[in-house]
């Protein structure tokens, strides 16, 4: 196989790595034994490696593990992970539940996102985002945002600002681009950490908030990745098109398995997030999900990490939405449901 790949590489540069990746991912769907052998001969400490590029190795390893279906392959998964290079200081690789990855990958790669005023529509395509207006029934394009081709287009996210003047676009690797209505790119927010093939860097929560504390900033942009890491950015588009990180917060202590979605309810200042405890893929398809979500009110000041007001919290299961309320005033949460959050969260 290796000599054949060498011949392919000489004929067409880059073909060998792509052929090997497709071959390993196809094998991994049913059996990880041969992929494990390939990865063992690609370890960083070897002089001659089948996969010499370490970024490609990490991306292929994660894709093979995500693609694997049989539940008896877990020991082989651990063996494959041992073939990866040792990381220095920084966040460790984060594996999303295979059921969640399967669900997202089954979605269509393009999106239609209507602005809150119902007058603008964002159509996310392969390498652009078209902005259309309701004036002519969304027939003509009034702005076109150019975006790079994404290897995982189903993991992209788009959000309108509260006043419908800005459009935020999140790539599968966590990079966020902000555009105006003409399609001009105003600035790019790079992720705090991003690894090739690591889908936990993707953004399930991309939310614009109105910002009134200072006239310098037009809006606040919340960026929440699947790891449960939240970062808040203050956005300015007047004379100085820029952004500034306001604060960050991690939900990992509450949701060690990460966040699968996040929504915001402006009328009640509620930030809702959904975690997935277990979403398994078995012989009969996807299993049941023990998903739990909580709605947390956004407080103006929680700098001392103490609750200053009673909080409402909702528990969402597959079949019900239950509002947990304390024995006191109806609709208020009891003390034992308290969650300590970062300022405003």
pLDDT in tens, 202-230: 999 999 998 888 888 889 999 999 888 99
Q: Which of 259, 235, 232, 264 is nearest to 246 (CA)?
A: 232
User: Rounded to an integer, what distance in angstroms lies between the CA atom of residue 25 and that of residue 20?
Assistant: 9
Tokens at 15, concatenated: 């073909």
- Ranking 35-44, 96-105, 240-249, 283-292 by mean pLDDT, the lowest is 283-292
- Give DSSP secondary structure letters for 69-130: --GGGHHHHHHHHTTSPPP-SSPPP-PPPHHHHHHHHTS-S-EEEE-TTSSEEEEE-SSEEE
Residues counted in the chain: 345
CB 160 within 8 A of CB 118: no
Adjacency order of strands within the sheet including 120-124: 111-114, 120-124, 128-133, 141-146
- Phi first, then psi, for residue 153 (nearest 5°) are -65, -25
pLDDT at 289 over 60: no
pLDDT at 102 over 70: yes
Cβ burial, residue 296 (10 Å; 0-12/13-18/19+):
buried
Q: Which residues pair with 130 in a beta bridge?
A: 123, 144
Tokens at 79, concatenated: 């063996």
0.75 cut: is pTM over it?
no
pLDDT at 306 over 80: no
Question: 171-205 pLDDT, tens per residue?
Answer: 998 999 999 999 999 999 988 776 667 788 899 99
- Give DSSP secondary structure letters for 283-314: TTEEEEEEEEEEEEE--S--TTS--SS---EE
């Amino acid at each position: 196989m290796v000599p054949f790949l060498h011949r392919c590489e000489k004929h067409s540069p880059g073909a060998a790595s792509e052929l090997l990746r497709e071959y390993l991912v196809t094998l991994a769907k049913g059996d990880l034994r041969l992929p494990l052998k390939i990865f063992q001969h690609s370890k960083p400490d070897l002089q001659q490696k089948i996969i010499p590029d370490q970024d490609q190795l990490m991306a292929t390893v994660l894709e093979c593990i995500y693609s694997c279906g049989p539940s008896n392959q877990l020991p082989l998964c651990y063996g494959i992970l041992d073939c990866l290079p040792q990381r220095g200081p920084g966040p460790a690789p984060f594996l999303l539940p295979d059921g969640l990855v399967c669900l997202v990958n089954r979605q269509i790669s393009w999106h239609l996102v209507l602005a809150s005023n119902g007058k603008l529509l964002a159509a996310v395509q392969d390498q652009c985002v078209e902005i259309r207006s309701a004036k002519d029934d969304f027939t003509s394009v009034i702005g076109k945002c150019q975006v790079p081709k994404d290897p995982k287009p189903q993991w992209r996210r788009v959000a309108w600002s509260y006043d419908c003047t800005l459009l935020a676009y999140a790539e599968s690797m966590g990079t966020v681009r902000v555009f105006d209505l003409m399609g001009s790119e105003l600035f790019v927010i790079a992720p705090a950490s991003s690894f090739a093939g690591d889908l936990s860097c993707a953004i399930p929560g991309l939310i614009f908030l109105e910002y009134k504390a200072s006239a310098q900033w037009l809006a606040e942009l919340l960026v929440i990745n699947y790891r449960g890491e939240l970062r808040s950015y203050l956005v300015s588009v007047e004379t100085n098109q820029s952004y500034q990180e306001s604060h960050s917060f991690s939900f990992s202590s509450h949701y060690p398995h990460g966040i699968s979605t996040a929504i915001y309810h402006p009328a009640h200042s509620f930030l809702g997030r959904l975690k997935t405890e277990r979403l398994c893929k078995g012989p009969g398809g996807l299993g049941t999900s023990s998903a739990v979500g909580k709605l947390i009110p956004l407080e103006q000041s929680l700098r001392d990490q103490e609750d200053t007001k009673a909080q409402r919290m909702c528990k969402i299961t597959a079949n019900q939405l239950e509002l947990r309320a304390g024995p006191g005033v109806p609709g208020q949460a009891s003390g034992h449901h308290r969650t300590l959050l970062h300022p405003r969260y």
